[in-house]
């Protein structure tokens, strides 16, 4: 249930967060130009209604459609969203757009799957355009007559529930659920699914909403971190707290303080009571923000405060911080805590689960002492699994266990594999391909708590004397040396590129592979299709987009291109600074992938490669 709610919240967040700039623009227009704003201007204030009622829902509908059905889904999402907007004119249809966008994407995706290979030659454009138009019209009509009125009724019920809480002084008790939900990564479901839609409606009528203040207040986390800074007995924790305070309070990244709670779960009482007191103060002062404070930093919190309420917002944050500090301090002083490192690992594991990554699971029962062959498997077996295998091979080499670590396509796992490591979305295919093997599922191949757990098992085996017993076993399988062909060349390296979308970055890498003669044009679409299957973000700021397993026929020869984005490219919640496009024939590209993995071990070099290195430096390091 928790994982399902986390994934749902993550999906809602994925629709809203790319458009948060539009929410901020609308918030500033409201704060500045309405009658009670900083610079009242009746003409400019007229922008408020169209942005709230049309722009924001349509943007969310477009993004929801794109997440499910690609670019065609985005167009369908826009058409369908207009139906719910017009069908429910009394309320901003953010909730309606969160339904219609994904629904539209799903419909067109299923149509495209049904038509795959069945379109008459020469009629592709006609069918593609008319299908979007016809299905879009049908969904807009459904939105007008059914979804719009239904969402309006739901909003009325939710608002009524909130008003009951406010009128009876019970709204502060929401903090009892909000603070634990944040630590469990359930806040996206609550924030994007409930608080933001209600807040939008309230702000449209009253110019502000207290709903925006419930989860984003940086005070509770600030007070907790301050207590650790002052009273923690662990030097590492004490020294880390000031940096965490800056990131949390000024940067708005609340996630930074979650490990401090996981170190000593009882300490969550401090943030809960702090937020309860702050919400109570905001309630009696009739406070509210004009728009979402995203991210939840003090800067955004104050920027979204009405002109006559900034002092109230400051006092509310201060109250939350003070109460959180006072309550947390004795708990921290009296109780022993786990190490921050262990708590961070737990947080990373929980975050992976919130993204839908399943924990390590057992297929066949394979004892640690019996492990002799570990296979890293991805869809095509040429990129992410190769890098993951190389990194893990290097990691366990000092253990001298003689374990073979290699990579392959998830559909071609050898029958003698003892452990298969794959991304969670591929686990069913891996289980079918290697029913005898134990499965370890993960979020990405370079950094994952489940890989750490597997390593810990093997390390314990080595320390227990199993290394000596394994001396006669097979040695770790190294990648074959390249044939001397130019897999990476200077013309395949681009540096200092401006930040673009993930799809644009992948397409740019594919176009460069095509330009250099490594692949034909069809491989570019296969790279984009591979990304839809499962992210090629590897961790540590590196992504390695490549084609699907069915696209190997479009590869002319092995090649690698390196695209450097100093400001990063968003791959979901992560940023990739090096986007390394790969086309592989056999094992010719594995040697360079090995050198790339080696460079990841040097943090200083990696930072230089991601943001500062020129073509010659990258060529010298990887080539």
Q: 247: exposed, middle or buried (C-beta count within 10 Å: 0-12, 13-18, 19+)?
A: middle
Nearest-Å Rg of the Cα atoms of the chain is 26
254, 277, 422, 546: the active-site residue? 546
Residues with Cβ < 8 Å from 427, sequence gap 6 or more?
Answer: 358, 361, 439, 441
Residues with Cβ < 8 Å from 594, sequence gap 6 or more?
Answer: 390, 479
Is 378 tagged catalytic?
yes
277, 378, 422, 589: the active-site residue? 378
Length of the chain: 623
Whether the link from the prior residue into 295 is cis, omega within 30° of 0, is: yes
Is 254 tagged catalytic?
no
Bridge partners, residue 542, by sequence: 539, 578
Q: Are 196 and 94 in contact (CB under 8 A)?
A: yes
CA distance 580 to 571: 13
Other C-beta atoms lying within 10 Å of the C-beta of residue 358: 17
Distances 405 to 137, 416, 482, 541 between C-alpha atoms, Å = 53, 12, 19, 24
Sheet holding 373-378, edge to edge: 404-409, 373-378, 419-423, 438-442
Angle at 403 between CA 397 and CA 407, to 5 degrees: 95
Dihedrals phi, psi of 606, to nearest 5 degrees: -60, -45
At residue 289, the 3 state secondary structure works out as: strand
CA distance 588 to 325: 58
Query: Which tokens hold the place of 185?
Result: 């990564």
Instruction: With CA atoms as reference, report the closest residue to 284 among 167, 162, 160.
Output: 167
Cα–chain-centroid distance for residue 155? 28
Establish how many alpha carbons lie within 13 A of residue 535's alpha carbon, considering only the half-sphere containing its beta carbon. Answer: 25
Catalytically active residues are: 378, 546
């Amino acid at each position: 249930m928790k994982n399902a709610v986390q994934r749902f919240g993550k999906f809602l967040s994925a629709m809203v967060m790319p458009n948060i700039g539009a929410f901020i623009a609308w918030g500033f227009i409201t704060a500045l130009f309405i009658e009670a704003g900083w610079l009242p201007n009746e003409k400019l204030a007229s922008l408020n209604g169209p942005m709230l009622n049309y722009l924001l829902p349509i943007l969310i509908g477009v993004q929801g459609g794109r997440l499910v059905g690609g670019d065609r889904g985005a167009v369908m999402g826009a058409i369908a969203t207009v139906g719910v907007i017009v069908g429910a004119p009394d309320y901003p249809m953010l909730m309606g757009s969160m339904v219609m966008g994904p629904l539209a994407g799903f419909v067109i995706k299923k149509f495209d799957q049904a038509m795959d290979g069945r379109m008459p030659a020469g009629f592709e454009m006609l069918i593609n355009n008319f299908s979007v138009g016809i299905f879009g019209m049908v969904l807009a009509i459904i939105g007008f007559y059914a979804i719009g009125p239904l969402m309006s009724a739901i909003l009325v019920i939710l608002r009524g529930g909130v008003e009951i809480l406010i009128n009876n002084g019970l709204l502060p008790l929401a903090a009892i659920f909000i603070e634990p939900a944040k630590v469990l990564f359930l806040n996206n479901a609550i924030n994007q699914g409930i608080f933001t839609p209600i807040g939008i409606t309230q702000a449209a009528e009253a110019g502000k909403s207290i709903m925006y203040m419930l989860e984003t207040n940086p005070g509770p986390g600030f007070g907790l971190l301050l207590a650790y800074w002052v009273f923690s007995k662990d030097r590492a924790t004490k020294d880390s707290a000031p940096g965490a305070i800056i990131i949390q309070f000024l940067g708005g990244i609340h996630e930074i303080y979650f490990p401090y709670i996981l170190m000593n779960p009882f300490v969550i009482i401090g943030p809960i009571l702090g937020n309860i007191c702050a919400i109570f103060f905001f309630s009696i002062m009739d406070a509210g923000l004009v728009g979402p404070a995203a991210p939840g930093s003090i800067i955004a919190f104050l920027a979204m405060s009405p002109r006559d309420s900034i002092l109230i917002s400051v006092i509310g944050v201060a109250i939350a911080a003070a109460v959180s500090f006072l309550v947390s301090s004795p708990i921290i002083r009296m109780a022993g805590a786990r190490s921050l490192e262990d708590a961070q690992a737990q947080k990373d594991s929980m975050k992976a689960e919130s993204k839908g990554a399943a924990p390590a699971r057992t297929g066949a029962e394979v004892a640690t002492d019996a492990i002799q062959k570990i296979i890293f498997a991805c869809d095509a077996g040429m990129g992410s699994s190769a890098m993951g295998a190389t990194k893990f091979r290097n990691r366990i080499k000092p253990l001298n266990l003689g374990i073979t670590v290699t990579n392959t396509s998830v559909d071609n796992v050898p029958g003698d594999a003892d452990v298969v490591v794959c991304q969670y979305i591929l686990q069913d295919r891996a289980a079918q391909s290697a029913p005898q093997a134990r499965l370890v599922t993960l979020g990405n191949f370079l950094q994952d708590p489940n890989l750490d757990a597997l390593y810990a098992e093997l390390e314990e085996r080595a320390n227990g004397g199993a290394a000596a017993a394994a001396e006669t076993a097979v040695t770790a399988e190294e990648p074959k040396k390249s044939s001397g062909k130019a897999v990476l060349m200077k013309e395949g390296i681009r540096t200092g590129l401006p930040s673009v979308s993930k799809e644009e970055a992948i397409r740019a890498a594919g176009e460069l592979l095509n330009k250099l003669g490594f692949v034909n044009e069809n491989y570019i679409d296969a790279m984009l299709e591979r990304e839809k299957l499962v992210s090629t973000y590897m961790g540590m700021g590196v992504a390695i987009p490549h084609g699907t397993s069915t696209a190997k026929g479009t590869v002319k020869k092995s090649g690698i291109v390196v695209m450097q984005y100093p400001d990063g490219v968003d791959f979901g919640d992560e940023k990739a600074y090096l986007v390394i496009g790969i086309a592989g024939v056999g094992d010719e590209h594995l040697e360079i992938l090995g050198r790339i993995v080696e460079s990841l071990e040097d943090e200083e070099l990696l930072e230089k490669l991601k943001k500062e290195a020129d073509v010659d430096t990258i060529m010298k390091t990887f080539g």
